Amino acid sequence: MQGGPEGITVERAWVTPLDSGQGGVVHVDGLLFGSWYRSRKGWAAIEARTGEVRHELPDLAMGPLLYADAQFYWLSQEGEMTLVRRHPTGMEIVSRFRLVGERVNDAWAHPVIHQGRLYLRYHDQLHCYDVRAEQGAG
């Protein structure tokens, strides 16, 4: 694309089919993490410089995510919370639980961590979990 202000030009570096309906991706160590929507199901880690899909977790529904304390907190649109760790060769599901008993509608509010507490909103409910490491552990 040419003709911008002061001679600025833009050139497409790459295109990849990450069609995240949620819109949120997180950049960690040169990778973009986000969810598929229509073209595929699950989550992907995409090389930020090349657009190459490096890792996938196909069994998770799309939704917002948060990266904190070297792990991902993924809240699916279906109301399932999943804790995921990244490894050089892929992603590993550490734990998961249902935030709500029955899906009423999509859960799209991004998870938030503040002072060791994880906040998850599902429509008119706000859930809070203490995610700090146990004192004296180790």
135 within a domain of the structure (yes/no): no
Burial of residue 37, with CB atoms counted within 10 A of its CB: 0-12 exposed, 13-18 middle, 19 or more buried: middle
90 within a domain of the structure (yes/no): yes
28 within a domain of the structure (yes/no): yes
Number of domains in the chain: 1
Per-residue pLDDT, averaged over 103-120, amounts to: 87
Per-residue pLDDT, averaged over 10-39, amounts to: 82
Question: Could you tell me which residue, 82 or 42, shows the higher pLDDT?
Answer: 82
Look up the domain containing 94 and give its range: 5-130
136 within a domain of the structure (yes/no): no
Is the pLDDT assigned to residue 23 strictly greater than 70?
no
Domain of residue 49, CATH code = 2.40.128.630
Position 2 confidence tier, pLDDT thresholds 50, 70, 90: low
52 within a domain of the structure (yes/no): yes
Which pLDDT score, from 0 to 100, does residue 100 have?
Answer: 83
137 within a domain of the structure (yes/no): no
Per-residue pLDDT, averaged over 77-83, amounts to: 88
**SS3 (DSSP) at 59:** coil
Position 138 confidence tier, pLDDT thresholds 50, 70, 90: very low
Phi, psi (degrees; rounded to nearest 5) at 8: -70, 135
Question: Could you tell me which residue, 67 or 88, shows the higher pLDDT?
Answer: 67
Q: How far apart are CA 5 and CA 2, in angstroms?
A: 9
Q: How far apart are CA 80 and CA 103, in angstroms?
A: 9
